[in-house]
């Protein structure tokens, strides 16, 4: 089902890591009527404002990439906001989309929705089969609710809405703040700072042994368009690369890109989080999609972007 390139397409969260990549991909593909609003222009937690926005623009396609996101520290310390804000954002967006009967909607979640000890690689059928990782369970519950809302709308109203669960993401426009960022940009910032200050060692949180999968956000954006044109099923679908690395291996890849030559230590007193989180991407692969950016090249390109946009002090 090829999307009309003249359709009104609303990208919620179009200034964020994911939304900005989706926007770039759609522009490159020739979409001419993209709709976006910054959080200052439209607070998606405000139900009345969100309803009015949809009534005015009446999007024919919605890609919901709007969310309050953060790394393990932010999730651990602010679970209330991660639950409340994300629930409100996605409920408002989907209720507003339903009110104007938006034909096609893609809800983006996170691989943290799956149980902490799910069988690896994690299949979509693992959802709701076990205990969540406690450091980000509030965020995970919100995203699970989003999947349920997509499925409920399909059952009750017959609209072909879909949801997708990306693995760990990185890319341009990421958050490099040390207290609220995810592991890859946080490590990139730390290795950059260590290089600038000639530090002898960078110490990783935890043991460095947990394994993680990393997908470049431009690959995710490509997958989003692919899914909107090739996928129509109530079950969520995983988006990833199908391979993973240890946190220490990730650190070594980042250190190489940054040019940091000091030691890399570990601090086992800090939490590791989920021991492994590798997605089974066989369903998406069977549809004919695969990623195109490997980790080493992706990390190098993101560091180049960081240098260009940070002015050396971000």
Q: Is 78 annotated to bind ligand? A: no
DSSP 3-state helix, strand, coil percentages of the chain (rounded to 5)? 45, 15, 40
Q: In sequence order, what E strands does the chain have?
A: 8-12, 33-35, 61-64, 104-108, 162-166, 168-170, 201-205, 211-212, 214-216, 237-239, 245-246, 263-267, 276-277
Determine which of 209-213, 288-292, 299-303, 309-313 has the lowest per-residue pLDDT on average.
Answer: 309-313
User: Annotated binding residue at 259?
Assistant: no
**Which H or E run contains 17?**
helix 17-29
Task: Give the number of domains in the chain.
Answer: 1
| pLDDT above 70: residue 251 | yes
End-to-end distance of the chain based on CA atoms, in angstroms?
43
Q: Is 161 annotated as a binding residue?
A: no
Q: Judge whether 200 lies within some domain.
A: no
**Angstrom distances, CA of residue 195 to CA of 85, 171, 176, 255, 256:** 37, 21, 16, 9, 11
Question: Do the annotations mark residue 110 as ligand-binding?
Answer: yes
Q: Answer yes or no: is 65 within a domain.
A: yes
DSSP 133-148: PGGGHHHHHHHHHHHH
- Which pTM was predicted? 0.93
Read off the pLDDT of residues 144-162 as tens digits, 9 standing for 90 and up.
999 999 999 999 999 999 9
Annotated ligand binding at 13? The verdict is yes
pLDDT, position 314: 42
Residue 311 has pLDDT above 60, yes or no: yes
Question: Can you give the residue range of the structural domain that contains 109?
Answer: 8-172+214-242+278-293
State which of 68-72, 94-98, 273-277, 309-313 shows the largest mean pLDDT.
Answer: 94-98
Q: What is the pLDDT of residue 310?
A: 80
Kindly state the DSSP code that residue 122 receives in the 8-state scheme: B
Residues 2-48: tens digit of each pLDDT? 999 999 999 999 999 999 999 999 999 999 999 999 999 999 999 99
Please provide the average confidence, as pLDDT, over all residues in the chain. Answer: 94
> Is 127 among the domain residues?
yes
pLDDT score of 214: 98
Among 114, 139, 260, 306, the active-site one is 139
Query: Does residue 91 form part of some domain?
Result: yes
- Rounded-to-integer distance, Cα 75 and Cα 260, Å: 29
| pLDDT at residue 69, as a whole number | 77
Asked if pLDDT for residue 277 goes beyond 90, the answer is no
| Spatial CB neighbours of 125, under 8 Å, sequence gap ≥ 6 | 235
Mean of the pLDDT values across residues 264-275? 89
Question: Which of 238, 76, 57 is closest to 147 using CA atoms?
Answer: 238
Q: Rounded to the nearest 5°, which phi and psi values hold at 245? A: -135, 160
Identify the pLDDT of residue 93: 98
Residue 114: active-site member: no
Q: pLDDT value at position 179?
A: 76
CATH of the domain at 154: 3.40.50.720
Please report whether residue 59 resides in a domain. yes
**Cβ within 8 Å of residue 140, ≥6 positions away:** 110, 112, 113, 132, 133
Whether residue 197 is contained in a domain is answered as no
């Amino acid at each position: 089902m090829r999307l009309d390139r003249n359709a009104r397409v609303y990208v919620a969260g179009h200034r964020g890591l994911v939304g900005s990549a989706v926007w770039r991909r759609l522009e490159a593909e020739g979409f001419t009527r993209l709709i976006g609003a910054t959080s200052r222009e439209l607070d998606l937690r405000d139900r009345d404002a969100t309803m009015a926005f949809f009534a005015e623009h009446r999007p024919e396609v919605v890609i919901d990439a709007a969310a309050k996101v953060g790394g393990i520290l932010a999730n651990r310390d602010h679970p209330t906001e991660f639950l409340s804000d994300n629930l409100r954002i996605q409920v408002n967006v989907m209720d507003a989309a339903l009110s104007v009967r938006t034909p096609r909607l893609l809800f983006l979640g996170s691989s943290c929705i799956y149980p902490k000890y799910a069988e690896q690689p994690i299949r979509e059928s693992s959802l709701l089969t076990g205990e969540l990782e406690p450091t980000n369970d509030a965020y995970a519950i919100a995203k699970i609710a989003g999947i349920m809302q997509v499925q409920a709308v399909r059952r009750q109203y017959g609209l072909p809405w879909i949801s997708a669960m990306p693995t760990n993401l990185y890319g341009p426009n990421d958050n490099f703040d040390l207290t609220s960022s995810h592991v890859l940009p946080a490590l990139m910032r730390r290795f950059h700072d260590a290089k600038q200050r000639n530090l002898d060692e960078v110490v990783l949180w935890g043991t460095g042994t947990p394994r993680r999968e990393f997908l470049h956000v431009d690959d995710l954006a490509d997958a989003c368009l692919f899914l909107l044109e090739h996928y129509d099923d109530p079950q969520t679908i995983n988006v990833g690369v199908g391979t993973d690395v240890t946190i220490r291996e990730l650190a070594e890849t980042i250190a190489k890109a940054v040019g940091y030559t000091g030691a890399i230590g570990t601090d086992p007193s800090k939490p590791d989080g989920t021991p492994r989180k590798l997605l089974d991407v066989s369903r998406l692969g069977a549809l004919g999609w695969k990623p195109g950016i490997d980790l080493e090249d992706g990390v190098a390109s993101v560091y180049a972007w960081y240098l260009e946009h940070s002015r050396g002090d971000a």
